[in-house]
């Protein structure tokens, strides 16, 4: 071993790691204890981006394989070739890439017997990043190879972070109607900014509540999404989660509609037609930012807002669709002497029944927003029949039954999920489990699940409330009737879901009284 390594009889202990700033893990794989000691001594004062080295030792190939699995975040492997066998190191290199699927760690092959592992052969046939003879690895050259390897590792992590961010954005755009798509999207774009800067500790995206005056600078910023400590602050006003100094910087960025850089964090102002005041906060940024970095951050912060606006616009369209459905349904219910709260109650009852039945969240949500359309066909029924306080005669009942098909005809043909569901349940919500219902006399699972759920929700709510032709029933009367109609009018499983959770359904009735 070259004299530059400064062999010493002193203790092998390395300086205490600076845990606050993190460490770079270096796995030393060699069957000679002296090599471990010399390597640690030569690199004892090494630092890169304010992070020291953390050494992990393995004295055989088999031990190295276990440690690489235990430390997937290792940055460098200093790997001997000849250990328990002549090719033990090469097998470890192969294990790292093929079995552990770790393509990030930098593998530096060190050998004291170059003839047994020719450099050209090894470089061509094994995915290693450098090849050194132990005799040429002076302290200075070891420092150089570790420094260059850490830079490569840092850049690889940055690229991987960028890939993960893009993946989240793509997932959010593909699943735009998901309840958490906006949240996933924002986390993705924040991760992209992290990849631009190379090192970020925390990030936060805050947005203002929509106000009537877009020039109002006093709108309260709310944490929409966050990473690090801010992950637990979502939904809170920024004034509750930022320090006084940070709030001043935030306000400066808000007032000047600009990006404010402090020692180790930044605030980037964003705006759009929907959110008049949005702010991107990132901490842990490099102390020295190049102009290129700043230009990228400025472009990125504006592109974030454009993308955010597109996602929000989709949400606005969806909310508008739901509101129209509710208002239309309320108009129909008022015409048939029922209150708008009947619409709300049936909607919520359907949602809870769907979840209890086992439908997926997306299906349950669609049913929730489509359920108010179940009686839309009543717009085609004469008032004399709708408001008749006594029992309908045979001809009047025949006319009343047509509202199921009328509702289906009104809503069919739409490409929107909610309207499509509305057409189905408008047609099927008067079918009965035993086949005695209308308009098509379907039975059991021939009836669409939406129709089966709305049938139970509608009858349950109607029985519990007064109508022009009847008084409200007591809870016990309703429970008895549902038990009697189990397997006749209603699917048995759905009746069980309702009766087993009757308190929660009764609470819905209390929350939305007549």
CA distance 272 to 302: 9
Q: What is the dihedral of CA 19, 20, 25, 28, to 10 degrees?
A: -30
Evaluate whether 253 touches 169 at the Cβ level (below 8 Å).
no
pLDDT at residue 59, rounded to an integer: 96
pLDDT at residue 438, rounded to an integer: 94
Residue 485 carries which DSSP code?
T
Active-site positions read 378
pLDDT at residue 5, rounded to an integer: 37
> Both tokens of residue 162?
């960028």
Sign of CA dihedral 512, 497, 436, 409: positive
In the chain, the domains with their CATH numbers are 3-156 (3.40.50.2300), 175-314 (3.30.450.40), 336-511 (1.10.3210.10)
Residue with tokens 């005669």: 393
pLDDT at residue 100, rounded to an integer: 94
Please state the separation of Cα 23 from the chain's center in Å.
29
Q: Closest Cα to residue 374, out of 448, 319, 434, 320?
A: 448
Instruction: Enumerate the β-bridge partners of residue 27.
Output: 56, 77
Residue 347 carries which DSSP code?
H
CA distance 466 to 450: 25
Residue-wise pLDDT tens digits, 39-50: 999 999 999 998
Q: How distant, in Å, are the alpha carbons of 261, 292, 310 from that of 203?
A: 14, 21, 22
Residue-wise pLDDT tens digits, 445-462: 999 999 999 999 999 999
CA distance 501 to 352: 9
Q: What is the pTM of this model?
A: 0.48
> Both tokens of residue 212?
């009537």
**Strand duo 51-58 + 47-48: pairing:** antiparallel
pLDDT at residue 432, rounded to an integer: 96
| Beta-carbon-side half-sphere exposure of residue 181 (alpha carbons within 13 Å) | 19
| Beta-carbon-side half-sphere exposure of residue 91 (alpha carbons within 13 Å) | 13
Evaluate whether 456 touches 437 at the Cβ level (below 8 Å).
no
Q: Which residues of the chain have pLDDT under 50?
A: 1-20, 172-173, 175-180, 210-217
Evaluate whether 293 touches 259 at the Cβ level (below 8 Å).
no
pLDDT at residue 305, rounded to an integer: 67
């Amino acid at each position: 071993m070259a004299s530059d390594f400064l062999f010493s009889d002193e203790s092998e202990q390395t300086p205490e790691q600076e845990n606050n700033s993190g460490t770079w893990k270096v796995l030393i794989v060699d069957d000679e204890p002296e090599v471990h000691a010399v390597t640690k001594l030569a690199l004892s004062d090494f630092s890169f981006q304010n992070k020291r080295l953390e050494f992990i030792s393995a004295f055989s190939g088999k031990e190295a394989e276990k440690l690489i699995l235990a430390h997937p975040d290792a940055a460098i492997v200093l790997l001997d070739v000849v250990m328990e066998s002549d090719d033990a190191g090469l097998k470890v290199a192969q294990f790292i890439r093929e079995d552990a699927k770790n393509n990030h760690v930098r593998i530096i092959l060190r050998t004291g017997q170059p003839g047994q592992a020719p450099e050209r052969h090894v470089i061509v046939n094994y995915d290693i990043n450098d090849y050194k003879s132990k005799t040429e690895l002076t302290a200075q050259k070891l420092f150089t190879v570790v420094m260059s390897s850490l830079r490569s590792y840092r850049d690889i992590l940055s690229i991987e972070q960028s890939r993960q961010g893009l993946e989240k954005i793509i997932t959010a755009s593909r699943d735009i109607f998901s309840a958490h798509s906006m949240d996933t999207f924002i986390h993705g774009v924040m991760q992209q900014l992290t990849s631009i800067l190379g090192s970020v500790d925390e990030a936060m995206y805050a947005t203002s509540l929509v106000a009537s005056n877009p020039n109002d600078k006093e709108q309260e910023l709310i944490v929409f999404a966050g990473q690090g400590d801010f992950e637990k602050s979502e939904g809170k006003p920024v004034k509750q989660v930022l320090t006084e100094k940070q709030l001043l910087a935030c306000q400066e960025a808000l007032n000047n509609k600009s990006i404010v850089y402090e020692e180790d964090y930044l605030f980037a102002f964003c705006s759009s037609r929907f959110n008049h005041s949005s702010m991107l906060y990132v901490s842990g940024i490099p102390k020295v930012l190049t102009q290129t970095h700043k230009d990228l951050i400025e472009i990125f912060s504006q592109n974030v807002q454009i993308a955010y606006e597109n996602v929000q616009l989709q949400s606005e369209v969806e909310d508008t669709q739901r509101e129209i459905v509710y208002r239309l349904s309320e108009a129909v219910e008022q015409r048939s002497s029922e209150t708008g709260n009947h619409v709300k109650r049936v909607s919520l009852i359907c949602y809870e029944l769907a979840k209890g039945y086992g439908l997926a969240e997306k299906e349950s949500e669609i049913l929730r927003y489509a359920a108010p359309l179940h009686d839309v066909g009543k717009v085609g029924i004469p008032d004399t029949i709708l408001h008749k306080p006594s029992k309908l005669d045979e001809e009047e009942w025949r006319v009343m039954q047509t509202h199921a098909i009328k509702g289906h005809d009104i809503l069919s043909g739409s490409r929107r999920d909610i309207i499509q569901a509305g057409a189905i349940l408008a047609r099927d919500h008067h079918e009965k489990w035993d086949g005695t219902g209308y308009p098509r006399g379907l039975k059991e699972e021939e009836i669409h699940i939406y129709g089966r759920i709305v049938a139970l929700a509608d009858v349950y709510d109607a029985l519990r409330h007064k109508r022009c032709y009847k008084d409200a029933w007591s809870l016990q009367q309703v429970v008895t009737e549902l038990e009697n109609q189990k397997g006749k009018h209603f699917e048995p499983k759905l009746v069980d879901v309702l009766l087993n959770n009757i308190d929660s359904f009764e609470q819905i009735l209390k929350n939305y009284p007549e």
